[in-house]
Chains A and B, each alone.
Chain A
Amino acid sequence: MGQHDRYDAIIAGAGHNGLTTACYLARAGLKVLVVEKNDWIGGAAVSRSLHEGWTYSNCSYVCSLLRREIVRDLDLPKFGLQVIPYEGGATFTANGDYFAYHSDHDALRREIARHEPRDVDAYDRFSQTVIRQCRFIRPFLLRSAPDPTSFKINDLQELLYLVKRAHGLGPRELAETLRFWTMSIGDFLDEHFENDLIKAHLAGSGIIGTGLGVYSPGTAYVLLHHYMGDVDGAIGAWGFARGGMGAISKALGDCFEAAGGTIFTGSGVERFLVEGGKIIGVALDNGDEYRAPIVASNMDVKRTFLEHTDAKDLPEDFTRAVKRFKIRGSSGKLNIALDALPDFPAAPKGANFLRGDLHASESLAELERAYDDWKEGRWSANPYFDMLIPSQIDPTMAPPGKHMMTVFVQYAPYALEKDGVCSGENWTEEAKKAFAETVFDKIEQVCPDIRSKVVHAEIRTPRDIEREVGLTEGNIFQGELTFDQLLFNRPVPGYANYATPIEGMYLVGSSAHPGGGVMAAPGANAAREILKKLGKGAAVAAEAA
């Protein structure tokens, strides 16, 4: 390893998107190097063992968004990827009842009727609307976003495609789509449903990972972002990657190495090297330098340009736009090793829905209050959680008879308030513990015996997520999914096509269109743009309409 190692392309960061780009480039015949700061690959799609015998999906925990065209293109099942669907879920109430979400349509209708007969048909209307919106948006995921200010053939073609799709909807449906994209998940649910508990159950997807409340306009889109995936072709379905989310990154890594690629872990990029406006390589923390005419950053747009690029190599207004990019941490997580399956006294013994996603927020008002706390720099006193026990379905996650539980928590601030000052520094060990206690208190409402079953717990605040994965402020999507940061505005107006002001340098992470989640779409789209530039029109997944 030395100064003169030359590559065709270097990818900075072995998150799943960086690895996806790397796979496509290597398969197109390029000599590709991936450099990763951590000793492991995967970024926020990672499995780690922190307590012997147990495996955690430390960050992301469920899989659905991963584009199947990419899975197919890269033969990921051949490299060990297996996604197991889970079914159902439930929201528990403080008074011992629950709303169970069954994937069986008739069972679901019966359950809805048990709570509110009027909501039975409302649910069908709701899910039809959501599925219609998913169908509309999905083809855009594996395409670059058009720049409406540009007259370049590419942009005009993409714009035309957008207009055509929009036109194909018909006037009513188009107006409906505009409305859906701009409204809040709370208003959307209020429009359809009467029952508070049912609304609260469905609202969660609208706020996961965002610094917005259920009544903030734009959260209906966030819900869509969580519904537009599928498992085995079932739209909106979610599953577990066998072996945890790291299995996805591992399959990508193996695929990349099988195509002749090289991965260096354990030392990150300290600086992107630029000469005369062109990228020439990277310098690592350990002093090594590598050269390549193409360098792609998997880090978020802020980290890439504000931490590791010399400001003088960037236009001033670009830097300003990057600074302005909103990337707010709003989520925490608990990964818990359990001695045994906890007891859910409210649920029938062995209920199927316990294998799905479990919650304990009973109303939209409760969720909105959770958001109000976050705005003031506090974690929610009464938080929303998305809790699963994957070891019930994937036995590789815990020793026989034992279990692993993953608890995603909304909201937790990056800059914690203390004595009137908000700062990341305020996340002391004590504060972290207190945060975890708040979450355990809430879980106790559902599983009174939870505390007695805990063998080990990993507590993750936005600050921890930033420190480990490099996600600025711990924002899980590498940037808020608000409409001023989507499509041609993502991440910076005028740079939505994965290119940057530095020639040969690209952004391939979730800061780019179409955004976060373990989707691999930014990585694949970026690879397509890079290969196009190189005149290699090689096939990169593109979704048929």
Chain B
Amino acid sequence: MNARFDVIVIGAGHNGLAAAEALAKRGKSVCVVEQSDAVGGMACDRLAHLLYNPAPSGVETREIDTVSLSPEGAHVLIRRGEARFTSGKPHPDAAAYQTLYRRLVRYAGLLHQLAEAPPPGLEQGVTSLAGLRELSRLAKLGVGVKRLGKAEMREFLRILLTNAYDLLLDEMPDGPLPGALAADAVRGAFSGPRSPGTVLSLMYRLRHGGGVFLPAGGMGAVAGAYAEGARRAGAEVRCGLGVTRVIVEGDKVAGVLLSDGGRLDASAVLSSVGPMQTMRMAGIAEFDIEAVRRARKLRAKGSTAKLNLRLGGVPEFTGLSAAQVKARLLVAPSVAGVERSFNPAKYGDLPKQPVLEMVLTDGTGPSTLSVIAGHVPETSWTTDRRESFTASVVETIERFAPGFGSLVEEADLLTPEDISAMTGAPGGHWHHAEMGLDQMLTTRPTVGMARYRFGVAGLYLCGASAHPGGDVTGAPGRNSAAQVLADGVA
């Protein structure tokens, strides 16, 4: 096998694969090196389950409704901006919800262009060509914002930095309807809806129009399509071998060492693992002290667990039709409740009332309920704790679906600790690095490392910890590849 490539990509998560495809398409020889036996990283059947954005070509998706479950039985059926009760009755806050939702989607669309390119650079002055391009891109956003009209522009600038709790409860009374949006705002994050910045993270999710899509064949099929895209473009994808070191020679990247002792040469290395791990692989001494300090202090406290429940039959939820059971089911009874579920996580404890997102997946057969549970502690998952948490999730579901517990044949719990062990993701964090206001855009993942270039010439970040962040979008991978091409290093 060829031991020299233009580019090595560390990790065949979907972002690594997206980067590989973009580079291979431009004629680069690319090798993706994945430690585990399968491609996809977190985008696999056992973890991620829904898409908020277009799928890669070759994957069929189906838009599904959302049902926000109510402890009182007044479940709310939501499709994008429309809301009514699952019984068919109109929801009293439907109009307020629609106005707010449409506004958020419109604003989110403006932010979308920021996500699809490296973050606005502050490094170049306005005198360079690159600087001018930057400026014109920002100006375009500015024009987009101006086009909103004065009143809307003011509203945009105000809510951009506000928190989900206030934004939602200013418009409607608390309950499962605003609860659903609050849960969407903080899913995967170590924050509650009262935290400033959560409106921005909500808009991050809504920037493709707000639809929720179930991929046919599950997330594994999505990962497969990313891999297929990379291979078709000519990239090589090798599974089962990890990268142990990034070789730096004369202040430049020269290649990587593999876990079997082999070596691959390349003048550019893209890493889809976290900043600190990447620094360790390249040797801490290669980076300036300040950069290392920042990477070490990066906030990436995993707070999301995954529970795959294999069921012996199709569950029945009180008040839901058979079709409605196949929607995205949320347990987020109120905005205050979502905030409350976050409290214990701050002190390393389990939530008393976990917030859940559930879907009967197509991928692993209709009898698996895929459950994402938010606001769990990152570490200290003893056997006891695992069992009691699994039991509390099942109990929570049981409240809406009597008899549910007896259907459960097998429970596969993945805690942040497990996810970190599986994928190497820092803290097992959904986004590899918290999507706080202070770790976004020009400061993502850290100040001075925001444009994919990672300290050593030829070394780049291409995973979720880079701008714009996580979810199965491929954006960090594509943007990183574009930066490599622009820099002409490979």
Residues in chain A within 8 A of chain B (CB atoms) = 148-149, 171-172, 174-176, 178-180, 182-183, 187, 190-191, 212, 215-218, 317, 324, 326, 365, 368-369, 372, 375-376, 482-484, 488-489, 493-494
Contacts and interface: CB of A to CB of B under 8 A. Distances in A.
Nearest to A180: B438
A149 B150 contact: yes
Contacts of A182: 161, 196-197, 436-438
**Most chain-B Cβ atoms within 10 A of its Cβ — which of A376, A483, A484?**
A484
15 contacts: A149-B157, A179-B443, A180-B438, A182-B161, A182-B436, A182-B438, A212-B196, A215-B195, A217-B191, A368-B346, A376-B340, A482-B162, A493-B154, A494-B150, A494-B154
B159 A484 contact: yes
B64 interface: no
B375 interface: no
Given A176-B447, A182-B197, A372-B343, A493 B161 contact: no
A484 B196 contact: yes
Given A149-B150, A215-B346, A175 B450 contact: yes
Contact of B339 (A183, A191, A375, A484): A375
Contacts of A375: 194, 339
A191 B195 contact: no
A172 B196 CA distance: 24
B170 interface: yes
A15 B155 CA distance: 31
Contact of B151 (A216, A317, A369, A482): A317
Given A149-B150, A218-B196, A482-B162, A324 B170 contact: yes
B449 to A, nearest CB: 10
B166 interface: yes
B158 A365 contact: no
Contact of A175 (B161, B343, B447): B447
Interface string B473-489: 00000000000000000
A41 B288 CA distance: 57
Given A149-B153, A217-B195, A482-B196, A183 B159 contact: no
A499 B437 CA distance: 31
B166 A326 contact: yes
A217 B154 contact: no
B442 A489 contact: no
Contact of B122 (A171, A218, A372, A376): A171
Contact of A183 (B122, B340, B437): B437
Contact of B161 (A190, A324, A369, A483): A483
Given A174-B122, A493-B157, A217 B197 contact: yes
Given A175-B447, A216-B194, 14 more contacts: A149-B153, A149-B154, A175-B122, A178-B438, A182-B161, A182-B437, A183-B436, A215-B195, A217-B437, A324-B170, A369-B347, A375-B194, A484-B196, A489-B158
B442 A175 contact: yes
Name which of B166, B447, B450 has the most chain A CB atoms within 10 A of its CB.
Answer: B447
B299 A187 contact: yes
A493 B151 CA distance: 9
Given A175-B442, A190-B297, A484 B347 contact: no
Nearest to A368: B346
Contact of A217 (B122, B160, B196, B450): B196
Interface string B436-453: 111000110001101000
A95 to B, nearest CB: 20
A518 to B, nearest CB: 26
Interface residues of B, number: 37
Nearest to B343: A372
B384 interface: no
B450 A187 contact: no
Nearest to A369: B347
Contacts of B197: 182, 217
A99 B89 CA distance: 61
A372 B349 CA distance: 14
B481 to A, nearest CB: 23
B123 interface: yes
Contacts of B154: 149, 493-494
Contacts of B153: 148-149
A215 B438 CA distance: 13
A391 B398 CA distance: 62
Contacts of A489: 157-158
B412 to A, nearest CB: 31
Contacts of B155: 493
Given A365-B346, A482-B196, A488 B157 contact: yes
A135 B118 CA distance: 31
A172 B297 contact: no
Interface string B173-204: 00000000000000000010011110000000
Contacts of B194: 212, 216, 375
Contacts of B442: 175, 178
A134 B383 CA distance: 49
Contacts of A180: 438
A178 B339 CA distance: 26
A411 B105 CA distance: 36
Among A179, A215, A365, A489, max chain B CB count under 10 A is at: A179
A497 B1 CA distance: 69
Nearest to A170: B122
Contacts of A324: 166, 170
| 7 closest Cβ pairs, A-B complex | A182-B437, A493-B154, A183-B438, A171-B122, A484-B162, A483-B161, A179-B438
B61 to A, nearest CB: 34
A146 to B, nearest CB: 12
Contacts of A215: 195, 346
Q: Which of the listed residues A187, A317, A488 has the most CB atoms from chain B within 10 Å of its own CB?
A: A187
A211 to B, nearest CB: 9
A149 B152 CA distance: 10
Contacts of B195: 215-217
A369 B348 CA distance: 13
